[in-house]
Amino acid sequence: MHESDGRQSATKGLSDRLRQWITTDLAPGAQLPSEPELASSHGVSRSSIREALKALEQDGLVYSVRGRGRFVSPMGTVSVDRPVTRYESTTAMLESLGFSITTAVLDVQETQADGRAAELLDLAPGAPVIALTRLRVSEDRPLVFSQNIVPREALPGPVRYRDWSASLTAALAAHGHHLATSAARITASALPVDLAGKYHLEGLDPWLLIEETSFTRAGDRMLYSRDYHRGDLIGFNVLRTS
């Protein structure tokens, strides 16, 4: 792990602890202790506390008033279970909802980028990519049908030697491509008839289709996904602010 990766991971862990404390113990409008006080109580440096608080400000949980300090925002105590704005892997999301997940690899192949995938991954038409099709299942119930495309160079080595049932996010991170953000569109959709028939998924419409492009910390487009979520079993929560 690079030093910067370790620092970012530590900052996230500290932000998560502060988030839990704020949402559990503080009321909207409450003033947070000073940076030195928080650093002392958490056993970290002031710079670490400052980075963690900055992340919470970006999330809208706290706000700062010049010359006075930081305060809990009105949304700071609003808890939304697994908000759709949180970036996490599909398997992690499903497990957090209480599902025990098995991942079936339906197809993996080296192919060429075309159309939508080439556009959203900012690749030239015909550029080499890996196309992966998987199905997440819980107790024999299909939950998520996934189609993922990544640039071929992002995952070097023979395709046949990789465990494609494992986390794709983790595989990319192992090669230095740390996914941090994404842009997505959610629509109600039927699974294409040819795919439903091929993989015996008829009669499960409608699905919630998330078409998503994931970006690395450096801003590189690294993963294009079309994930069909069972509409009768999975929902997404959103917190809206003005």
pLDDT at 80 exceeding the cut of 70: no
pLDDT at 8 exceeding the cut of 70: no
Contact present, 39 and 92 (Cβ < 8 Å): no
- The Cα–Cα gap between 154 and 177 comes to 8
Which span out of 16-25, 127-136, 233-242 was modeled with the highest average pLDDT? Answer: 127-136
- The Cα–Cα gap between 242 and 206 comes to 31
Name the least confident of 12-16, 63-67, 134-138.
12-16
**Confidence (pLDDT) at 86:** 65
Radius of gyration of the chain measured on its C-alpha atoms:
21
pLDDT at 1 exceeding the cut of 60: no
What tens digit of pLDDT does each residue of 187-229 get?
A: 999 999 999 999 999 999 999 999 999 999 889 999 999 999 9
The CA distances from residue 175 to 104, 224, 229, in Å, are 23, 17, 28
Residue 233 tokens read as 């079993």
Residue 140 tokens read as 């024999």
- Stretch 66-85: mean pLDDT: 73
**Confidence (pLDDT) at 88:** 74
Residue 81: pLDDT band by 50, 70, 90 thresholds? low
- The Cα–Cα gap between 186 and 91 comes to 18
Sign of the Cα torsion 116, 122, 125, 127 reads negative
My answer on whether omega of the bond before 125 falls inside 30° of 0, hence cis, is: no
- Separate counts of helices (H) and strands (E) for the chain: 7, 8
Amino acid at site 90: T
Residue 218 tokens read as 């450096």
Does this model's pTM top 0.85? My answer is no
Domains of the chain: 3-77 (1.10.10.10), 90-230 (3.40.1410.10)
Extract long-range pairs of 31-40: CB within 8 Å, 24+ residues apart. Answer: 31/68, 31/69, 31/70, 31/71, 31/72, 32/62, 32/69, 32/70, 32/71, 32/72, 34/69
Amino acid at site 3: E
* Residue whose C-alpha is closest to residue 97's, from 138, 134, 141, 59: 138
